[in-house]
Amino acid sequence: MSENIQSTLVEDRLFPPPAEFSAEAYIGDRKVLAELCARADADHTGFWGGLAKREISWDKPFSVVLDESRAPFFKWFTDGELNVSYNCIDRHLASRGTRPAILFEGEKGDRRTLTYRDLHTEVSRFANALKASGIVSGDRVVIYMPMIPEAVIAMQACARIGAIHSVVFGGFSAESLKDRIEDAGAKLVVTADGGNRGGKALPLKAAVDKALAGGCPSIQRVIVYNRCDLQPAMKEGRDVWWHELCATVPALCEPVAVGAEHPLFLLYTSGSTGKPKGVQHSSGGYLLHAIMTMRWVFDLRDSDVFWCTADVGWVTGHTYVAYGPLACGATQVIYEGVPTVPDAGRFWANVQQLGVSIFYTAPTAIRALMKFGDEIPARYDLSRLRLLGTVGEPINPEAWMWYHTVIGKERCPIVDTWWQTETGGHMLAPVPGCIPLKPGSCTTALPGISADIVDEEGTPITTPDAGGYLVIKKPWPGMLRTIWGDDDRYVRTYWGKFNNRYYLAGDSARRDKDGYYWIMGRIDDVLNVSGHRLGTMEVESALVAHPRVAEAAVVGRPDPIKGEGIFAYVVLRGERPAGGVDVVLTKELREWVSEQIGPIAKPDDIRYADNLPKTRSGKIMRRLLRSVAAGQDITQDTSTLENPAILAQLKGEV
């Protein structure tokens, strides 16, 4: 990460938008964008209120744009009523019912096209299946699915009847699934027997069974989609097949109007403490943010084929797969598998064959594919591409240049989009028709988003390139509303630091002389592994839950592909293994963490020590551990160490 910052500090290349792109762009003139931003600055609620009237089909129009009476529990379009699924599907039927909404490609090469009319039928049917299962407005439904159209159908079906979905990433373990089901108090789980990933059928229903065997008393029903013919055991009275249930329910389901503030979904994300937070999003404000950023940042046109490669288990797969593209009536690609099956050309093959024009992925994927060389993408016709995007972590300039030249053939702007699970949609990102790009910078704030960098006291930092806290100074429609069941934690985590004045993003950033933002990293104990957030405490809790582990400290270490890798220091109960190495135990602990959280959380490396380096007040010296993990020289003061010999142990010296 710090290497990244060093290299971005000297990055001064500027890539103005290609003239052909600007000529056709949604916003192709910097003056127009500046006016939009100025209008939003001058009249924040008027600006967002106007867009909400224009872009959303309301069942009942709103009269209040923003209610700040219980700040920081902000409410947007409070007395308005809408249905998100209606806005994503029904309202397009007359004008584009036969247009493909989803071009699906399975990992094995199987294809399906769903038009908006098809989607309407499938979503309505599944909404009735949920109703027939006893789900009513406000109930929580957990979705644990592979990346297939049915995942989106299930989400849309929830929205159609006012149920609140909580999607759990299919890569999370049974244990993580159980925690999320219990925290949400979900009544129903939607899953599949399995999904195709990496050339294998990854079982999902088996993990659901394991989660439910260990608790989850609120669950009354499990609906199982048959994707891989794995023939899982079905529990009498609890489990039903998707296709059997859908065959028994009516095909029509009227969308139910809900209040604009009605929760659309919960999505669990890691924080600096052990327990993931259920980030709660709204219906009206969230949808508006999704729609506006599809236009401003992705410059979406009717002729586009949009592909966001994110799984629906992450927020990117919510805003830019399940909701944003559909709300705009777009055609989008959904791909089930990994980028390297059957070979590292799969993404580019999909782009060619499905005619993708807008492609949005993560820096970690770009770096991984870059490793395979330029010859692989050169085999494919990528000429339909006109816009590229990245999300999840800062992109290193080298990967940016590869993306720009080898994939975009120097024709396609790259939108580097900074946002978070909590923000609902893009916050800092270029408007590609008019903002010149700098590799590694997410450029500037979008209209109506008032970002700033402040110091410890909350005073704005105006000196170029001086780092500080990234904050958002005014509420915005797509913002999270609270943490499910924990209003205090919501206030403490995001608003406490600056006395309820600013939203604290948890990232540090700098702004250069041209006002461009450069994200520098997290300020809390949160890791960014392959563009996904993991709390160090979460991994530590998993480690100490193992009977042989007494204490653990986890830090991130720069990783050429993943951005950050996980490095764990472990103190065992009893003797430290000879030489600090124990291959068998290390393997066991890695598997253990994988079972507790998911494969994404597996430590890359584990080192054993007699104790952990602590300050006098008993705080683990994380910065020191980070230096050790990165193999850097120790510059910290180590004079307070109880047992200086452990430094050698931590470094792996015998």
Backbone angles phi and psi of 88, in degrees to 5? -90, -25
Of 172 and 418, CB closest to ligand WT7: 418
Of 197 and 522, CB closest to ligand WT7: 522
Question: Looking at 232, 439, 506, 603, which residue binds ligand WT7 (CB under 6 A)?
Answer: 506
Q: Does 525 bind ligand WT7 (CB under 6 A)?
A: no
Question: Looking at 149, 324, 337, 394, which residue binds ligand WT7 (CB under 6 A)?
Answer: 394
Euclidean distance between CA atoms 407 and 348, whole angstroms: 9
In this chain, which stretch among 48-56, 104-112, 419-427, 610-618 interacts with ligand WT7, using CB under 6 A? 419-427
In this chain, which stretch among 35-43, 142-150, 291-299, 416-424 interacts with ligand WT7, using CB under 6 A? 416-424
Q: Which of residues 235-274 bind ligand WT7 (CB under 6 A)?
A: 269
Q: Which of residues 148-207 bind ligand WT7 (CB under 6 A)?
A: none
Task: Answer for the pair 58, 76: CB distance below 8 angstroms, yes or no.
Answer: no
Of 27 and 427, CB closest to ligand WT7: 427
Of 47 and 320, CB closest to ligand WT7: 320
Q: Give the residue ranges of DSSP H helices in 25-115.
A: 30-42, 44-55, 84-88, 93-96
435 contacts: CB under 8 Å, gap ≥ 6: 17, 30, 33, 443, 444
Euclidean distance between CA atoms 497 and 503, whole angstroms: 9
- Residue 199 is encoded by which pair of tokens? 């050339």
Taking the complex as a whole, the smallest distance from the CB of residue 347 to ligand WT7 amounts, in Å, to: 18
Euclidean distance between CA atoms 403 and 367, whole angstroms: 9
Euclidean distance between CA atoms 328 and 526, whole angstroms: 34
Q: Cis peptide leading into 342, omega within 30 of 0?
A: yes
Taking the complex as a whole, the smallest distance from the CB of residue 636 to ligand WT7 amounts, in Å, to: 24
In this chain, which stretch among 188-196, 249-257, 322-330, 505-513 interacts with ligand WT7, using CB under 6 A? 505-513
Taking the complex as a whole, the smallest distance from the CB of residue 516 to ligand WT7 amounts, in Å, to: 12
Of 416 and 525, CB closest to ligand WT7: 416
Taking the complex as a whole, the smallest distance from the CB of residue 259 to ligand WT7 amounts, in Å, to: 26
Task: Answer for the pair 421, 267: CB distance below 8 angstroms, yes or no.
Answer: yes
Question: Looking at 47, 306, 419, 484, which residue binds ligand WT7 (CB under 6 A)?
Answer: 419
Taking the complex as a whole, the smallest distance from the CB of residue 194 to ligand WT7 amounts, in Å, to: 25
For the chain, helix, strand, coil in percent to 5 are: 35, 25, 45
Taking the complex as a whole, the smallest distance from the CB of residue 147 to ligand WT7 amounts, in Å, to: 16
Task: For the chain, count helices (H), then strands (E).
Answer: 23, 30
CA proximity to 320, closest of 341, 292, 339: 292
Taking the complex as a whole, the smallest distance from the CB of residue 569 to ligand WT7 amounts, in Å, to: 24
- What sign has the CA pseudo-torsion 28, 30, 32, 38? positive
Q: Give the residue ranges of DSSP H helices in 162-195.
A: 174-184
CA proximity to 608, closest of 542, 528, 543: 543
Q: Does 392 bind ligand WT7 (CB under 6 A)?
A: yes
Q: Does 478 bind ligand WT7 (CB under 6 A)?
A: no
Question: Looking at 209, 393, 452, 538, which residue binds ligand WT7 (CB under 6 A)?
Answer: 393
| CA-CA-CA-CA dihedral for 237, 239, 245, 248, to nearest 10 | -10
- Cα 89–Cα 93–Cα 99 angle in degrees, nearest 5: 90
Q: Does 519 bind ligand WT7 (CB under 6 A)?
A: yes
Place of tokens 């079972």: 595
Residue nearest to ligand WT7 (CB): 421
Q: Which of residues 314-333 bind ligand WT7 (CB under 6 A)?
A: 315-316
Of 215 and 599, CB closest to ligand WT7: 599
Euclidean distance between CA atoms 534 and 555, whole angstroms: 11
Taking the complex as a whole, the smallest distance from the CB of residue 43 to ligand WT7 amounts, in Å, to: 28
Euclidean distance between CA atoms 153 and 161, whole angstroms: 13
Of 354 and 529, CB closest to ligand WT7: 529
Q: Does 441 bind ligand WT7 (CB under 6 A)?
A: no
Taking the complex as a whole, the smallest distance from the CB of residue 298 to ligand WT7 amounts, in Å, to: 14
Q: Which of residues 332-391 bind ligand WT7 (CB under 6 A)?
A: 391
Question: Looking at 420, 508, 594, 611, which residue binds ligand WT7 (CB under 6 A)?
Answer: 420
| CA-CA-CA-CA dihedral for 313, 505, 600, 441, to nearest 10 | 100
Q: Does 308 bind ligand WT7 (CB under 6 A)?
A: no
- Residue 226 is encoded by which pair of tokens? 């048959």
Taking the complex as a whole, the smallest distance from the CB of residue 455 to ligand WT7 amounts, in Å, to: 19
In this chain, which stretch among 138-146, 338-346, 392-400, 641-649 interacts with ligand WT7, using CB under 6 A? 392-400
CA proximity to 36, closest of 327, 431, 325: 431
Q: Which of residues 529-568 bind ligand WT7 (CB under 6 A)?
A: 531-533
Taking the complex as a whole, the smallest distance from the CB of residue 431 to ligand WT7 amounts, in Å, to: 15
Of 253 and 267, CB closest to ligand WT7: 267
Backbone angles phi and psi of 179, in degrees to 5? -55, -40
Taking the complex as a whole, the smallest distance from the CB of residue 390 to ligand WT7 amounts, in Å, to: 6
| CA-CA-CA-CA dihedral for 503, 507, 512, 514, to nearest 10 | -50
Of 533 and 557, CB closest to ligand WT7: 533
- Cα 522–Cα 648–Cα 548 angle in degrees, nearest 5: 75
Question: Looking at 332, 417, 482, 536, which residue binds ligand WT7 (CB under 6 A)?
Answer: 417
Of 49 and 285, CB closest to ligand WT7: 285
Site size for ligand WT7 (CB under 6 A): 23
Q: Which residues bind ligand WT7 (CB under 6 A)?
A: 269, 315-316, 391-394, 416-421, 442, 505-507, 519, 522, 528, 531-533
